[in-house]
Amino acid sequence: MDFLRPLTWAEALEMKAERPDATPIQGGTDVMVEINLDKGRPTALLDLAAVAELAEWTRDNGTVRLGAGVSYTRLIAELAGDLPGLAQASRTVGSPQIRNRGTVAGNLGAASPAGDSHPPLLATGAEVEAESVRGSRMIAITDFYRGVKRNALEPDELIRAVRIPVATGPQYFSKIGTRNAMVIAVSSFAIAFDGRRVGTGIGSAAPTPRRAPEAEAFLESALDWSGPLDADVARRFGELVRDAAAPIDDVRGTRDYRLHSLAVMARRTLTWAWEDHLRCA
């Protein structure tokens, strides 16, 4: 196994162009687990930890540009106000040690349907900034996930940053695990209000993370933005979120439980968001 260690972003892109087979590694919280458990051995590792510019984030025109090397710990400490949904999800990632190492971009690179970042990224309409020696492009988050552990990156591309709109309304994330921490999601859900638009994200309940477009459309039309939340609307929203999922049975949970829990989480997160909405309105 070759170990490539670029010191600059330009160098990283050149190495990736030369070795498209190389697996990028940042915090190692996914890649090293796979290697240690013998679930395949990459021919080369491209270690991005030394590329300093990746560890920065900026805010511009209502969008946070989150460098691919910004850890969950920093996101939680520095961006909980701008990106509350993503910060909530980040708090549920692994342990403090894992949050010190792990990154949102790493979650995207691994593209596991159970990754905790995905639902809030979907709910907020984030974009992935992909770059190669050929140039840079923006990939809408809904186009990014292509299958179980597959994403839309070209073999020579690396994730430079994730662009996430600064929150303009309430955002919530909810996750079910088989214990209370250090656990992979059985199912997860995120909701984000942006003005009178509603975003959703479903995790761990389909081959890829996905939105629930019908649930969003229903809510946007059914909500009376000034009054209390209609219990029937909340219930129907939960059902539509549930109907958008396509989960399987696996060691962590059953298909039925995942469907059921999504409906409950959707209803509850909507209720929390609605309370915030009314308080702020």
Residue ranges binding other proteins (CB under 8 A): 33, 37, 95, 176, 178-184, 186, 251, 253-254, 257, 260-261, 264
Least CB distance to other proteins at residue 261 (A)? 6
Least CB distance to other proteins at residue 181 (A)? 4
Nearer to other proteins, 110 or 184 (CB): 184
Least CB distance to other proteins at residue 31 (A)? 14
Q: Quick one: tokens of 156?
A: 């020579």
> Do 82 and 166 form a contact (C-beta atoms < 8 A)?
yes
Least CB distance to other proteins at residue 43 (A)? 16
> Do 3 and 45 form a contact (C-beta atoms < 8 A)?
yes
Question: What does the alpha-carbon distance between residue 202 and residue 162 come to, in Å, rounded to a whole number?
Answer: 19
Question: What does the alpha-carbon distance between residue 26 and residue 15 come to, in Å, rounded to a whole number?
Answer: 15
Which of 113, 194, 104 lies closest to 151, judged by CA?
113
Nearer to other proteins, 176 or 215 (CB): 176
Question: What does the alpha-carbon distance between residue 73 and residue 58 come to, in Å, rounded to a whole number?
Answer: 16
Least CB distance to other proteins at residue 87 (A)? 18
Strands (E), the chain: 2-4, 23-25, 44-47, 57-60, 63-67, 127-132, 135-140, 145-147, 150-151, 158-165, 171-176, 187-194, 197-203
Nearer to other proteins, 78 or 257 (CB): 257
Nearer to other proteins, 148 or 182 (CB): 182
Nearer to other proteins, 22 or 186 (CB): 186
